[in-house]
């Protein structure tokens, strides 16, 4: 009798287990059970990776006088130095871009700026400034990134003659634009061309500054994403 009861319990358990398995299968076929949400690189939700159409560079600044901006002035209670100096000019490079996903965790923008100057003996002298900035929590819509050259940097190494921007997510370049005002520089891929950037008349230098590290950081703060 005890053996019969044990077999009966085992049969009942098997029937219950079979019922639940059949119910789960039916629910999955009807769409009642869904797999885990797939996350795109950069935090966008969906089933495929972020593609070039989801990020677009909209505008680069024109090189020349329009990129020159005077140092902003702030009212403070601190007395000014007795040494009176005129307002100086920075070179400002503001790049506008659009994003399509609802959210992207981070976007990298690589900036390359070439300046031109003459040496004391009259020879051509180019300087290459490069900087990569990482912007966080990018919401769908219009955005701007910005870098600058300080007044002393331009006074020493010359005025900007070329600008290039690469926008990437997770190491994949999704958008590229460049502008050149020097006839000796090709507009396409000049910042990656070894014949140009490794030329004896081109020197790599530090000095390109992300906007948040300049006096312009406190102006229209909500127009820009947080920099990592």
Count how many residues are written for the chain. Answer: 228
Instruction: Tell me what the mean pLDDT of segment 37-42 comes to.
Output: 38
For residue 59, being part of any structural domain is answered with yes
For residue 56, being part of any structural domain is answered with yes
Residue recorded with tokens 């869904």: 34
pLDDT digits (tens, 9 = 90+) for 137-175: 999 999 999 999 999 999 999 999 999 999 999 999 999
What is the distance between the alpha carbons of residues 116 and 190, in angstroms, rounded to a whole number? Answer: 14
For residue 212, being part of any structural domain is answered with yes
Average pLDDT, the chain: 81
- pLDDT-derived band at 49 (thresholds 50, 70, 90) equals low
**Residue 176 confidence (pLDDT) above 70:** yes
What is the distance between the alpha carbons of residues 47 and 173, in angstroms, rounded to a whole number? Answer: 20
pLDDT digits (tens, 9 = 90+) for 74-84: 777 766 666 65
Q: How many structural domains compose the chain?
A: 1
- pLDDT-derived band at 53 (thresholds 50, 70, 90) equals confident
Instruction: Tell me what the mean pLDDT of segment 108-126 comes to.
Output: 95
DSSP string computed for 172-187: EEEEEEEEE--TTS-S
For residue 26, being part of any structural domain is answered with no
- Domain ranges, residue 179: 41-72+87-227
pLDDT digits (tens, 9 = 90+) for 54-76: 899 999 999 999 899 998 877 77
For residue 207, being part of any structural domain is answered with yes
**Residue 31 confidence (pLDDT) above 50:** no
**Residue 228 confidence (pLDDT) above 60:** yes
């Amino acid at each position: 009798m005890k053996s019969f009861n044990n077999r009966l319990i085992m049969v009942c358990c098997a029937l219950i287990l079979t019922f639940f398995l059949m119910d789960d299968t039916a629910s999955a076929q009807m769409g009642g059970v869904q797999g885990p949400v797939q996350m795109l690189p950069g935090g966008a939700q969906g089933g495929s990776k972020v593609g070039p159409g989801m990020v677009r560079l909209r505008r680069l600044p024109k090189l020349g006088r329009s990129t020159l901006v005077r140092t902003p002035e702030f009212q403070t209670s601190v007395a000014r130095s007795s040494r009176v100096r005129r307002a100086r000019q920075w070179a400002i490079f503001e790049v506008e871009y659009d994003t399509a996903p609802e959210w992207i965790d981070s976007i990298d923008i690589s900036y390359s700026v070439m300046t031109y100057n003459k040496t004391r003996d009259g020879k051509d002298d180019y300087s290459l400034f490069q900087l990569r900035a990482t912007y966080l929590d990018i919401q769908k819509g219009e955005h701007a990134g910005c870098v600058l050259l300080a007044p002393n940097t331009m006074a020493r190494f010359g005025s900007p003659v070329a600008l290039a921007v690469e926008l990437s997510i997770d190491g994949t370049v999704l958008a590229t634009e460049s502008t050149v005002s020097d006839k000796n520089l090709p507009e396409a891929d000049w910042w990656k061309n070894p014949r140009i950037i490794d030329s004896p008349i081109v020197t790599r230098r530090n000095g390109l500054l992300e906007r948040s590290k300049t006096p312009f950081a406190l102006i229209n703060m909500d127009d820009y994403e947080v920099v990592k």
